[in-house]
Structure 1
Amino acid sequence: MTDIPFLTPLDPDQQRAFGLQDPWPLALADRVRFAELDPLNHVNNVAYLIWFEGARVTYFKHVGLSTYDKAEVEPRIVIRRGEIDWLQEMRADETYVVVTRTVEYRTTSFTLRQEIWSGGTVRATFDCVIVLLQPDGSGRMPIPAPVRERFHKIDGVARRVDAP
């Protein structure tokens, strides 16, 4: 697909044209760069983490969690835990899409699911638990109501997971 816009959120039709059957709340396309390759000409494992991070930052801006320019009032966003699965290698010049959505949440934390798609297949997945802290780091911060509402309406989270 040659007309896919890079590093710009893809609409549902663009996602389907790329090969995603079910559109995600956020999808960003890009192309593998030479600098992201290892000596075996595969994408270096660290590159996947950087791609996931870029999509997370964009996602947090889109859900209204942070603008990244008001540190005195916006939450500190921390990854508490993350698990990545590298499923299939990638090589130079492949076009890929990173997709992101919230799959569950609690009072001050939520779980994100991210996937990298290329050539009609999932190449890597990343599941992480995000915790919100007060701007000064003094303790946890509740997820703002408009963000929780977006988790329901846009991301399709059925309900809040109760804390143990």
Structure 2
Amino acid sequence: MVFDLADRGIYGFATSERLRFADVDANGHINNGAFLQLLESSRVSYLRAIVRAGLPPFRLVVGRLEIDFRRQMFYPGTATACARLIEAHDRKCLVGHALFDDEENCTAVLKAVMVSLNEETGRSVPFAPAVRTALDRLAASLNGLPT
């Protein structure tokens, strides 16, 4: 399935994030690094609350981040950070994200490749069958939530 990451309707999971004065850069807008932190907060919450729920423990690490900035954001304000699983593979999954400003404008989209990791060897490993099945279901759902 192909998802338009800028479409708020594909996300069943979101966090409300407060824009901080410390996030403002010399150009007077929210710094691009802060966008990554806001989206990371949503991803971590999504993985904990939705993806790992009811599954045996497994370790994921960031393998790659690809972000497209679409609009500026300004302090003060809040943002809505969304996350959902969009693909599952043997050793990795792809989490899609979007960040929306107070007026519901999409300000950034992000794809995060998350790699399954064996902590003892430090190498990628295939997902356990139960985990892979759950990941496939989340990726196939309309909103990234269990059906």
- TM norm. shorter chain > 0.5: yes
**Long gaps (5+) in structure 2:** 1-6, 143-147
**CA distance in structure 1 between the aligned counterparts of 2:58 and 2:132, rounded to whole angstroms:** 14
Larger radius of gyration: 1
Of residues 33, 36, 46 in structure 1, which corresponds to 2:23? 36
Identical positions, percent = 24
Kindly indicate which of the two structures has a greater share of residues assigned to strand.
2
Q: Is the alpha carbon distance of 1:75 and 1:136 closer, same or farther for their aligned partners in structure 2, counting shifts above 3 Å?
A: farther
Is 1:137 aligned to residue 124 of structure 2? no
**CA distance in structure 1 between the aligned counterparts of 2:27 and 2:36, rounded to whole angstroms:** 19
Moved more, 147-156 or 34-43: 147-156
Q: Is the 8 A contact 1:108 1:132 kept in 2?
A: yes
Number of residue pairs the alignment of both structures matches = 133
Q: Is the alpha carbon distance of 1:29 and 1:150 closer, same or farther for their aligned partners in structure 2, counting shifts above 3 Å?
A: farther
Is 1:102 aligned to residue 104 of structure 2? no
- Per the alignment, residue 111 of structure 2 pairs with 127
Offset from partner CA, 1:5-50 (integer Å, 9 cap, x none)? xxxxxxxxxxxxxxx7525132001221111111222001110111
Of residues 33, 47, 68 in structure 1, which corresponds to 2:34? 47
Q: Is the 8 A contact 2:51 2:135 kept in 1?
A: no
**CA distance in structure 2 between the aligned counterparts of 1:21 and 1:74, rounded to whole angstroms:** 30
The one-letter amino acid paired with 1:56 is R
Shift, 1:149, TM fit: 4.0
Normalising by structure 1, report the TM-score: 0.69
Normalising by structure 2, report the TM-score: 0.76
Offset from partner CA, 1:66-117 (integer Å, 9 cap, x none)? 9xxxxxx944422222211110000002221110011111111011110001
Secondary structure in 2 matching 1:62: helix
- Per the alignment, residue 75 of structure 2 pairs with 92
The one-letter amino acid paired with 1:124 is A
